[in-house]
């Protein structure tokens, strides 16, 4: 079975390709200037905003499954560049969904915890969406687009993923903090915003379980530990052998961020375990696995 992974060079794309089950053949897309290196997966350049280019690639690849992970993933970038972010995250999703329908391909759409306002955690899959920033609105609209063909669509909502990105690709909180720790610099971490940090390989495992089991519907994916970002940062320091004293707790109001951030969009993960058989990974285990690979990235 041939699987097309859009956004194959991103954090999740990298994990999806590294954990591909043997019964699948993967093809991936990239955008912009990237270093692909040695890859067993063939890559194709694709701007998902170009409907004709998307259609041509689908005609060439003829995928039976599509995992749509390509998007603008920065909350603040989306807030500042609304027209571009809409064109990629909504228009691009519409193009991918249309070509998926034309080829009768199953579509797995990667959404986000940002579809919730953070006022009433923990969130289950059937809770009403209510985003408070533009990025969240884009993900809600993307979900609406793909649900037009709900019989062949699954929506995966990850939260705060961490792991080793490809060289030159966008980092995440853990890689940002590690860079600071290695320089001996102190960091301020918010102690009134909560999350369930997610090891990226765990998210990839959920995506592949959705595909192999033929699942449709919505799945929440998160780690096992419900922590503040301050607690998260201290755990990163502990696991990677840095000084936890470099981490200082601050309130969310300390950062004058462009886009508003919800206080707690953490998930209920019962469905992830019950239907897919994937257990949530705790921070100690997930970060230890990441630390063990630090010299192999």
Domains of the chain, first to last: 2-166+198-223+265-281 (3.40.50.720)
Determine contact, residues 216/276, Cβ cutoff 8 Å: no
pLDDT at 37 (0 to 100): 67
Nearest to 207, CA basis, from 145, 150, 152, 278: 278
Q: Is 27 helix (H, G, I), strand (E, B) or coil?
A: strand
Q: Report whether pLDDT(256) > 90.
A: no
**H or E stretch at 285:** helix 283-292
Q: Give me 204's structure tokens.
A: 């990839």
| pLDDT tens per residue, range 14-72 | 999 999 999 999 999 999 877 676 678 999 999 999 999 999 999 999 999 999 999 99
* pLDDT, mean over the chain: 95
- C-alpha distance from residue 216 to each of 47, 66, 102, 163 (Å): 26, 13, 18, 27
Global pTM reads: 0.97
Q: Report whether pLDDT(123) > 80.
A: yes
pLDDT at 151 (0 to 100): 85
pLDDT at 297 (0 to 100): 62
| pLDDT tens per residue, range 83-122 | 999 999 999 999 999 999 999 999 999 999 999 999 999 9
pLDDT at 294 (0 to 100): 87
149-171 average pLDDT score: 93
């Amino acid at each position: 079975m041939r699987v097309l992974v859009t956004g194959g060079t991103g954090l999740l794309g990298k994990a999806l390709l590294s954990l591909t089950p043997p019964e699948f053949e993967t093809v991936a897309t990239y955008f912009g200037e990237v270093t692909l290196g040695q890859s067993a997966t063939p890559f194709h350049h694709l701007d998902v905003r170009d409907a004709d280019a998307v259609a041509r690639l689908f005609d060439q690849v003829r995928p039976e499954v599509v995992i749509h992970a390509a998007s603008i993933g920065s909350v603040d970038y989306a807030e500042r560049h609304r027209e571009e972010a809409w064109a990629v995250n909504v228009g691009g999703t519409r193009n991918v969904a249309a070509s998926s329908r034309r080829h009768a391909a199953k579509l797995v759409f990667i959404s986000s915890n940002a579809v919730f306002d953070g006022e009433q955690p923990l969130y289950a899959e059937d809770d009403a969406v209510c985003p408070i920033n533009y990025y969240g609105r884009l993900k809600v609209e993307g979900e609406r687009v793909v649900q037009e063909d709900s019989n062949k669509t699954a929506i995966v909502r990850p939260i705060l993923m961490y792991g080793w990105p490809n060289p030159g690709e966008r980092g995440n909180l853990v890689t940002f903090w590690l860079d600071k720790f290695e320089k001996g610099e102190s960091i301020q971490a918010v102690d009134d915003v909560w999350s369930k940090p997610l090891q990226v390989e765990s998210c990839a495992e959920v995506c592949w379980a959705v595909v192999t089991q033929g699942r449709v519907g919505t799945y929440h994916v998160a780690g096992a530990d419900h922590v503040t970002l301050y607690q998260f940062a201290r755990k990163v320091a502990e696991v990677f052998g840095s000084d936890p004293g470099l981490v200082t707790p601050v309130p969310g109001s300390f950062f004058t961020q462009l886009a508003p951030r919800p206080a707690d969009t953490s998930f209920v993960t019962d469905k992830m375990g019950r239907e897919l058989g994937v257990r949530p990974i705790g921070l100690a285990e997930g970060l230890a696995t990441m630390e063990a690979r630090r010299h192999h990235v």
